[in-house]
Amino acid sequence: MLQLSVLRDQTDLVLAGLAKKRYATGPADVAAILDLDQRRRQLQTSHDSAQAEANELARQIGGLMKSGDKAGAETLKARTAELKQHTQSAAAELAQVEKEQQQLLYKLPNLPHASVPEGRAAADNEIVREHGTKPELGPDAVPHWDLIKKYDIIDFELGVKITGAGFPVYKGQGARLQRALINFFLDEARNAGYTEMQPPILVNEASGYGTGQLPDKEGQMYHDAKDDLYLIPTAEVPLTNIYRDEIIPVEKLPVRITGHTPCFRREAGSWGADVRGLNRLHQFDKVEIVQITGPEHSYAALDTMVAHIEGLLQKLELPYRVLRLCGGDMGFTSALTFDLEVWSAAQGRWLEVSSASNFETYQANRLKCRYRADGGKTQLLHTLNGSALALPRIVAALLENNQTAEGINLPAVLHSYCGFEKIG
């Protein structure tokens, strides 16, 4: 959530940032927030003045009663009653204004970092670098949705029977590959200094608001109305909310945590080859890395997170590229996002497998996640997260890129984790 002080003091900068994010109603929403803020401050001043006058009159009434001036005391009591009614009315209106202002603030996306390129959609994203050689497959190569049937390692039809479309069942070597990748990713994160957590996969509404999934993405999340709980779309939500309403000691910074969870996304209205097979699911596994750090260190932290993710892809021997997202393709809460995509040889296209983002103070302001520097006032921290990694498209690329007539060869780094070197 953007800070009110930034909207007041840097209005032009805010409007330019919202325009870069292609947020069409930015000028009207900012104007409405600032109007409400002016009204809020007027009400607060009026409330506080009336309260101060009432307190002073209470002191005077005591003196008049002691001196026997009951008539004077009654006059002041009448004025005190008027002031009480005024403060109650001002407090009620103040609460309503603050609620309206808060709801408008929730609607505003984060401002993009200065390095974010202009653009409307994915085609405008900037290619930062590319690594690895794209494999050349033979004429008999097939996409992963055919390979999983051939080797009987993932069953989509069985998932439909049990639950519905987008909930596959992993079998035999497919299930073992899933477990191997999760353990590999977690081990690599721990080796990089992240503390492993196992968070809940259901979160309350406050957690959804804390990291910005609510109210922006509530239609994309599975919701249990009876208990008002949400299935998580990513481990970012419970992991980051560990530090909601916390003041983190400076000596405990930076916070580095990781966790594996299933992730749930409704992904309504998705059809076609681009979302076939493992390309888009309603339930999938992912290992997440999260950092919380001081503002002066957050962009260096983002670079280390991207480098960590690249290291995973290199060990998996997957060709990949790093993209800097343009303003129109960025997430609602992000100030700067790098996407990492792997090359899918059988599909002949790039598949997104990770996003690493710096949210600056946007999430921290919602979360009230702060630190106190040098014994002074509390300040907002910066939060960051990255997928390290999401499994479905990693599995798709591994199957497709490494297929041979004799089976699917797995990268060496996974042999000890899987207990086998080849699928088939």
Residues 6+ apart with CB under 8 A from 302: 336, 338, 356, 357, 358, 384
Q: How far apart are the first and last CA of the chain?
A: 50
Tokens of 131: 């690594």
The CATH classification number of 4-107 equals 1.10.287.40
47 contacts: CB under 8 Å, gap ≥ 6: 87, 90, 91, 94
pLDDT in tens, 340-375: 999 999 999 999 999 999 999 999 999 999 999 887
Give CATH 3.30.930.10 domain extents, the chain.
122-423
Per-residue pLDDT at 92: 96
Which pLDDT value is given to residue 175? 98
Query: Which CATH architecture group holds 122-423?
Result: 2-Layer Sandwich (3.30)
Tell me the C-alpha distance between 384 and 410, whole Å. Answer: 31
Query: Which parts of the chain sit beneath pLDDT 50?
Result: none
The CATH 1.10.287.40 domain(s) of the chain lie at: 4-107
Question: What's the pTM?
Answer: 0.93
| pLDDT for 31 | 98
